[in-house]
């Protein structure tokens, strides 16, 4: 059995151009993005283990915020999740699995969480 480290960054709120209806396609919509990333890891993490043995959480945050192409419209939030997965896989060859959960905040009427979770494995 291979050990894995799971890094998590949850509940980032981002405005993204997404949607299929005419009222959605011209204005950014707020979404909540959560990431769980599996990473190959060393046998042990000692007190003096350097950051290079893990991954900087800010890289994950950047993939879900700053690395989004300006002005890009994602018809489906699944396309947005795919872009985030691709970005994270390119960032680090040690990443073996990415789970991206996206909740569309503007369409909730009763506090429900409406969205998707996409899980991709490195191929």
Cβ-based neighbour number of residue 80 at 10 Å = 25
Low-confidence ranges of the chain (pLDDT < 70): 22, 24
Segments making up each domain of the chain, as ranges: 4-121
pLDDT of residue 104: 93
Q: Given this model, what pLDDT does residue 40 score? A: 93
The pTM is what? 0.93
What class is the 4-121 domain?
alpha beta
pLDDT in tens, 62-97: 999 999 998 899 999 999 999 999 999 999 999 999
| 98: three-class secondary structure by DSSP | strand
pLDDT value, residue 2: 82
* C-alpha–C-alpha distance, residues 60 and 56, integer Å: 7
**Nearest CA to 16 among 98, 100, 103?**
103
């Amino acid at each position: 059995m291979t050990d894995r480290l799971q890094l998590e960054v949850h509940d980032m709120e981002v405005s993204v151009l997404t949607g299929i209806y005419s009222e959605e396609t011209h204005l950014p919509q707020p979404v909540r993005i959560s990431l769980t990333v599996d990473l190959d890891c060393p046998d042990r993490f000692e007190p003096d283990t350097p950051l290079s043995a893990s991954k900087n959480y800010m890289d994950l945050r950047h993939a879900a915020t700053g690395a989004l192409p300006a002005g890009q419209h994602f018809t489906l939030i699944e396309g947005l999740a795919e872009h985030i997965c691709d970005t994270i896989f390119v960032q680090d060859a040690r990443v073996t699995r990415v789970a991206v959960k996206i909740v569309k905040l503007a369409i909730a009427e009763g506090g429900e969480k409406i969205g998707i979770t996409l899980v991709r494995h490195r191929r």
